[in-house]
Chain A
Amino acid sequence: MSRFDTLPSAWMVWDGPAPARGGAVLEQTQELDKFLAEIERRAFRMAQVALRDADDAMDVVQDAMLKLARNYAARPSAEWRPLFYRILENGIRDLQRRRSVRKRFMVWLPGPKEDPENEAQDPLDNVSDGGTPVPERLMQAEAMDKLESSLRALPKRQREAFMLRNFEGLDVAETASAMGCSEGSVKTHYSRAVHTLREQLGEVW
């Protein structure tokens, strides 16, 4: 063994991707793809609950995916989930801020006229997802609508804590990392959120 065999390769001390180790990069990309595929729908629904708009939710989720893949793919995969949700929550907050600013200016301007006849129909819209019978699904949809309304009525931090802990299943430390606050704050926000939701939904459920 030559003495150079013990020296680290140049890419090992460089923090960027390794061009010579195509296999490692491919493996990482596949792992990231798997991770994103696993969380993308929940992330989308959480963004949709917060933003009340499917297109905005899609934009925010895609942006979060891109930022995670571009900036944090080299991090250990265990860190991806809190990082992703931190990016997502920041994106949601930014969008809500932009909306409130836009709303102030748009009050003075007439809104765009919608023409439903010219709107392109996507054939995928008509595909049934099968499964649950219609009456039960309607009841679930109604209950989810109430839950969403109650979640939107919560203060932002409480809503974030509740959705990350309860919907996404992050533990307290991961939630604190995703929200950028202490674990104590997460517990407080979560507890208050549960208390408020229980008061609002307890009788209905």
Chain B
Amino acid sequence: MNEETLDSASSALEERSRALFQDSVAGLDMRTRSRLTQARHAALEAADRGSRRSWLMRLPVWTSAVGVTAAAVLGVALWFGGPQSHHHGPMPTADNQMKFEDLDIIAASDESSGDAMDMLQDDIDFYAWADKTASNEPIA
């Protein structure tokens, strides 16, 4: 059998088998057709119910995700947009004034340091005289 004959035999077989199959489909009894229709409706209904349930079941996940996002946005806004921290912003005026007062006290204490030095010098002179006097006295 040559290739052309084989091909035509194959296509004849394909056509014949297809026609037979279609006839058998067309000849399905009423009971089977009815069961198929019922099966289709049941499948669509079940799928519809399932999809509605899955939507409702996913709803809390949705809302919680939105809530978490909103909280994060609020947190970021408060962090960057809220009142300035003491560490980062300029010093308030009262603080500045206090600082200057402290400096005044230090400066004032520095101003009196000359007297203190004089007093210390006096003490040294006194100790030197006392030491000399004690060394000149005869031992009893």
Write the residues of chain A forming the contact surface with B, with a CB cutoff of 8 angstroms. 10, 14, 16-17, 19, 25, 29, 32-33, 36-37, 40-42, 44-45, 54, 58, 61-62, 65-66, 68-70, 73, 122, 124-125, 127, 129, 131-132, 137, 140-141, 143-144, 147, 166-167, 194-195, 197-198, 201-202, 205
**B87 on the A face (CB < 8 A):** no
Contacts of A65 in B (CB 8 A): 39-40, 43-44
Contacts of B33 in A (CB 8 A): 41
A/B interface sample: 26 pairs, CB < 8 A:
A16-B54, A16-B55, A29-B44, A33-B44, A37-B37, A42-B21, A45-B24, A45-B25, A54-B32, A58-B36, A61-B36, A66-B46, A66-B47, A69-B44, A70-B47, A124-B30, A125-B29, A127-B29, A129-B26, A131-B27, A132-B27, A140-B20, A143-B20, A166-B21, A195-B10, A205-B16
- Determine if A201 and B47 form an interchain contact, defined as CB atoms under 8 angstroms apart: no
Which single member of B17, B36, B44 contacts A41 (CB below 8 Å)?
A: B36
**B107 on the A face (CB < 8 A):** no
Number of residues on chain B facing chain A (CB within 8 A): 41
The residue in chain A whose Cβ has the minimal distance to the Cβ of B28 is A41
A17 to B29 CA separation, bound complex (whole angstroms)? 36
A143 to B21 CA separation, bound complex (whole angstroms)? 10
**B14 on the A face (CB < 8 A):** yes
The residue in chain B whose Cβ has the minimal distance to the Cβ of A202 is B9
Contacts of A45 in B (CB 8 A): 21, 24-25, 28
Contacts of B10 in A (CB 8 A): 194-195, 198
Which single member of B13, B20, B46, B62 contacts A144 (CB below 8 Å)?
A: B20
Contacts of B30 in A (CB 8 A): 124, 127, 129
- Determine if A61 and B39 form an interchain contact, defined as CB atoms under 8 angstroms apart: yes
- Determine if A44 and B47 form an interchain contact, defined as CB atoms under 8 angstroms apart: no
Contacts of A40 in B (CB 8 A): 36-37, 39-40
A167 to B22 CA separation, bound complex (whole angstroms)? 8
The residue in chain A whose Cβ has the minimal distance to the Cβ of B16 is A205
**B42 on the A face (CB < 8 A):** yes
The residue in chain B whose Cβ has the minimal distance to the Cβ of A73 is B47
